[in-house]
């Protein structure tokens, strides 16, 4: 009789482990400090090659804002062995695609190739790390490109001036998060040769980088190629500066009135300083943000937008970062509504959250959604390479790619209430109202 159950139990066990869909990976360091993470998946003949440099706008010196992002552009210019303009061409004619991005905390480069081009990807990235080359024409060209990008993404976009520039400047008084990633064009103009050399020598070194590769590879063969291209790159000789700045708490509400020439509809924005992204409370704030604004049935969308019709759009987002985060709540005013009316409705929702918390069903709904997002973020090799690198560098555990959802599952409805009370206090926030108009009139 006993045996009768044996087979189904085994089958169940296998079924369970198969549906857990573990992302397997190996990781190790080269002697020069380069951290390597490899994920093998031979189901499609493609490979994602990425390098994450642990440097972002928060590492910039005073007077050199925008430098990290500018550097990202410059490092497509070429190297000792790659002529100007050829970098992208190598990728494209090998049937690949590539790009890069910069945030407050990181600079990330990646290529996606047919898998027989792995060596090309490693060559390109090692050239970038070993001896990138920039000439004057490149600097001038990229400065124009960055200015164009600033016009496109910040200067000509409604509310972006408030979100990227004005609010950070109020939330942070000492920490470099007070500057926007795009930075100031004057600072870029003021840069000197020494600045470029120092930035590259300090941050673009193997001991500050993570090489993350996912896709159709053979692990041993990949290790050999990585050693060929990267092991001779010398480690950096200077200590890598990381800001270690503690902000004083905000104790009285900062009220800001802003004007934005791109804006046609006034907006109410509340911004709160929140803990670093590894803190459990940061996870809870993510849940809170979803309760308030994820989907048509969320609280802000249902109550403020659809029922009371006070706002054309209203919601929230958590900007999770390495040292501190920010939680931003917004509302775009509907026609005929007073700013105060919308602000009061937004306040009411926050107070409701602090006093009554959320229901178990609401919490479960967020977990259900996070579960799906979490699983879907592993659907592409590019996504897996990026997540592995991020979890390793910023959370110290690449395996969170498999286990992070458990951290959300530990959150209780009591946590939600406590966190809402602790971080979303009105005396701890920046309250900004953005009106249509000339930004020179902005007063803080």
- Interaction with another protein in 184-213: which residues (CB under 8 A)? 189, 191-194, 196-197, 200-201, 204
Which structure tokens are listed for 313?
């759009």
Strand segments, DSSP code E, in 363-443 are 429-436
Nearest 5°: the CA angle 413, 416, 420 is: 150
- Residues 58-87 interacting with another protein (rule: CB under 8 A): 80-81
183 part of the interface to another protein, by CB under 8 A: no
Among residues 354 and 383, whose Cβ is nearest to another protein?
Answer: 383
DSSP, res 141: H
Among residues 328 and 384, whose Cβ is nearest to another protein?
Answer: 384
Nearest one of 398, 2, 350 to 212, comparing CA atoms: 398
Which of 2, 6, 7, 21 is the binder for another protein (CB under 8 A)? 21
Nearest-approach distance from CB 298 to another protein, in angstroms: 7
Query: Is 370:362 a contact under the CB 8 Å cutoff?
Result: no
- Residues 283-312 interacting with another protein (rule: CB under 8 A): 294-298, 302, 306, 312
Separation between Cα atoms, residue 316 and residue 333, nearest integer Å: 15
| String of DSSP letters for 274-310 | EE-TTSHHHHHHHHHHHHHHSSTTSHIIIIIIIIS--
Nearest-approach distance from CB 315 to another protein, in angstroms: 14
Q: How are beta strands 429-436 and 311-319 bridged, if at all?
A: unpaired
Which structure tokens are listed for 131?
């001896």
Among residues 21 and 244, whose Cβ is nearest to another protein?
Answer: 21
Which of 381, 385, 389, 434 is the binder for another protein (CB under 8 A)? 381
- Count of residues near another protein by CB under 8 A: 98
Among residues 286 and 319, whose Cβ is nearest to another protein?
Answer: 286
334 part of the interface to another protein, by CB under 8 A: yes
Contact map string, positions 31 to 50, toward another protein, x by CB under 8 A: ----------x-xxxx----
Separation between Cα atoms, residue 58 and residue 102, nearest integer Å: 11
123 part of the interface to another protein, by CB under 8 A: yes
Contact map string, positions 361 to 380, toward another protein, x by CB under 8 A: x--xx--xx-xxx-xx-xxx
- Residues 234-263 interacting with another protein (rule: CB under 8 A): 234, 259, 261
Nearest-approach distance from CB 396 to another protein, in angstroms: 26
Query: Is 287:411 a contact under the CB 8 Å cutoff?
Result: yes
Which of 114, 155, 185, 278 is the binder for another protein (CB under 8 A)? 114
Separation between Cα atoms, residue 328 and residue 418, nearest integer Å: 18
Nearest one of 293, 329, 337, 288 to 311, comparing CA atoms: 337
Cβ-based neighbour number of residue 327 at 10 Å: 24
Among residues 127 and 281, whose Cβ is nearest to another protein?
Answer: 127
Nearest-approach distance from CB 425 to another protein, in angstroms: 27
154 part of the interface to another protein, by CB under 8 A: no
């Amino acid at each position: 009789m006993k045996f009768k159950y044996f087979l189904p139990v085994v089958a169940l066990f296998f079924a369970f482990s198969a549906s857990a869909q573990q992302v397997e990976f190996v990781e190790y360091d080269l002697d020069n400090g380069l951290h390597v993470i490899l994920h093998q998946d031979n189901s499609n003949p493609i490979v994602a090659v990425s390098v994450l440099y642990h440097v972002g706008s928060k590492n910039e010196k005073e007077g050199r804002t925008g430098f990290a992002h500018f550097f990202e552009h410059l490092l497509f210019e070429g190297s000792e062995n790659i002529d100007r303009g050829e970098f992208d061409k190598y990728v494209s004619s090998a049937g690949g695609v590539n790009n890069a991005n910069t945030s407050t905390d990181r600079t990330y480069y990646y290529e996606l190739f047919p898998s027989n081009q792995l060596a090309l990807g490693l060559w390109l990235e090692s050239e970038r790390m070993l001896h990138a080359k920039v000439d004057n024409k490149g600097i001038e060209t990229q400065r124009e490109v960055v200015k164009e990008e600033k016009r496109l993404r910040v200067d000509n976009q409604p509310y972006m001036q408030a979100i990227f520039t004005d609010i950070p400047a109020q939330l942070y008084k000492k920490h470099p998060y007070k500057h926007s990633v795009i930075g100031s064009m004057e600072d870029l103009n003021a840069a000197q040769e020494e600045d470029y050399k120092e930035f590259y020598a300090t941050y673009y070194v193997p001991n500050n980088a993570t090489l993350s590769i996912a896709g159709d590879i053979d692990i041993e063969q990949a290790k050999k190629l990585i050693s060929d291209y990267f092991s001779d790159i010398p480690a950096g000789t200077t200590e890598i500066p990381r800001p270690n700045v503690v902000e004083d708490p905000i104790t009285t509400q900062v009220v800001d009135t802003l004007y934005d020439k791109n804006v046609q509809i006034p907006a109410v924005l509340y911004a709160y300083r929140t803990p670093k992204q590894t803190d459990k409370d940061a996870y809870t704030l993510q849940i809170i943000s979803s309760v308030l604004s994820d989907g048509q049935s969320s609280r802000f969308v249902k109550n403020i937008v659809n029922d009371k019709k006070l706002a054309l759009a209203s919601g929230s987002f958590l900007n999770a970062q390495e040292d501190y985060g920010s939680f931003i709540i917004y509302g775009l005013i509907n026609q005929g509504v007073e700013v105060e009316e919308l602000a009061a409705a937004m306040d009411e929702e926050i107070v409701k959250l602090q006093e009554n918390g959320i229901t178990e069903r609401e919490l479960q709904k967020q977990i259900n959604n996070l579960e799906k997002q979490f699983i879907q973020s592993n659907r592409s090799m590019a996504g897996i390479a990026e997540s592995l690198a991020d979890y390793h560098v910023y959370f110290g555990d690449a395996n969170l790619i498999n286990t992070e959802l458990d951290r959300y599952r530990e959150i209780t409805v009591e946590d939600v209430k406590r966190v809402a009370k602790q971080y979303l206090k009105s005396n701890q926030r920046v309250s900004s109202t953005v009106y249509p108009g000339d930004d020179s009139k902005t007063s803080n």
